Amino acid sequence: MTHTDAPRSPQTSAASIDAIPLRHPWRWVGAGAILVLAALFVYGAATNPAYGWPTYLKYLFDERVSQAAWNTLQLTIYSMAIGLGLGVILAVMRLSPNPVFGAVAWVYLWIFRGTPVYVQLVFWGLFPSIYQNIRLGVPFGPTFFQLNLQGMSIAFVLAFVGLGLNEAAYMAEIIRAGISSVPEGQTEASTALGMSWWMTMRRTILPQAMRVIIPPTGNELISMLKTTSLVTAVPYTLELYTRTRDISAVIFQPIPLLLVAATWYLVITSVLMVGQFYLERYFSRGASRKLTAKQLDALARAQLGEGHL
């Protein structure tokens, strides 16, 4: 049995259309007006001494600042990793048929979404004072492993753990929404093929949920980058905002250093956005009827070569 899915191309081809494209004069006017306004603003900013451009340039690539930017990026990535990992677990727990898991996840969300992240970070900063020692062993019995928290400088760890635990609560809701967006038929088809509940999640549901999960997660990631400026509450002071503020407090020039911090935040955000673009493209495979370049090639070749498929 052979199928001819595309009609055979006719032997005589009509002349291709050579129409005058629709003009959009008002777009040009609008763009021009905006350009003029932008130029005025840039000129004003460049000539205004309050911006302190020489100071800006001096500190933009200052080692303390670039180190702080690196610390900020690390905080962001580590806390998002915790948020994402724990978020998946919490979302799956909430949706699992096991009521114990569901209740645990609900209480976690209730606490971590219900209190400000700043308050949580202050709490994590005080954690070593509350629990001076962590001992692993049998309760009231022998100890196998002991960790003295007060003797360690763990502000950085506490900072990203604190941010990550808070983020997990929000990520859990985003992931849950993503999972719920996958039609029930997908679960049924997987179940009917003999897949376990967990395999259905991993192979069928989560990959499809990713398409819904990624855009708000990109938002969360960018938002996290900026939330790291709150870890001064722990207190951890070597991230971008606090570091530039500390420098400006010494040299009495807050505006250029604010601009330095803003520039770095913007650069990091831009890099993250590029990553998001490629992730979105990967997980949107199969979502559109449009053929990929590779598929179009194959079809065109088939049309030229074998006549029919």
Partner 1 sequence: MTAMVRAEQVCKSFGALEVLKGIMLEVQTGEVLVLVGPSGSGKSTFLRCINHLERVDAGRLYVDGELVGYRERGGRLHELTPKDAARQRRDVGMVFQHFNLFPHRTALENISEAPIHVKGVKRDTAVTQARELLDQVGLSAKADAYPAQLSGGQQQRVAIARALAMQPKLMLFDEPTSALDPELVGEVLAVMKRLASAGMTMVVVTHEMGFAREVADQIVFMDGGVIVESGAPHEVMTNPKHERTKAFLSKVM
**Shortest Å distance, C-beta 287 to partner 1:** 7
List own/partner pairs for 205-210 with CB under 8 A and 24 or more apart: 205/179, 206/88, 206/179, 207/283, 208/181, 208/182, 209/175, 209/178, 209/179, 209/181, 209/182, 210/178, 210/283
Q: Which of 70, 118, 156, 197 binds partner 1 (CB under 8 A)?
A: 197
The answer to whether 204 contacts partner 1 (rule: CB under 8 A) is: yes
Number of residues that bind partner 1 (CB under 8 A): 31
Match 């708000």 to its residue by tokens.
Answer: 216
Cα–Cα distance, 159 to 78 (Å, whole number): 10
Q: Which residues pair with 137 in a beta bridge?
A: 143
Q: Which stretch binds partner 1 (CB under 8 A): 136-144, 159-167, 192-200, 262-270?
A: 192-200
Match 């971008």 to its residue by tokens.
Answer: 240
- Give whichever of 24 and 294 is closer to partner 1, judged by the CB atom: 294
CB 307 within 8 A of CB 5: no
CA-based radius of gyration for the chain: 28
Q: Which stretch binds partner 1 (CB under 8 A): 104-112, 251-259, 269-277, 289-297?
A: 289-297
The answer to whether 185 contacts partner 1 (rule: CB under 8 A) is: yes
Q: Which stretch binds partner 1 (CB under 8 A): 40-48, 130-138, 250-258, 279-287?
A: 279-287
Q: Which of 36, 103, 111, 193 binds partner 1 (CB under 8 A)?
A: 193
The answer to whether 9 contacts partner 1 (rule: CB under 8 A) is: no
Q: How many CA atoms lie within 13 A of 136 on its CB side?
A: 4
Q: Which stretch binds partner 1 (CB under 8 A): 113-121, 198-206, 220-228, 242-250?
A: 198-206
Applying CB under 8 A, the residues found at the interface with partner 1 are 1, 3, 5, 183, 185-186, 188-189, 191-197, 199, 203-204, 207-208, 283, 285-289, 291, 295, 298, 302, 309
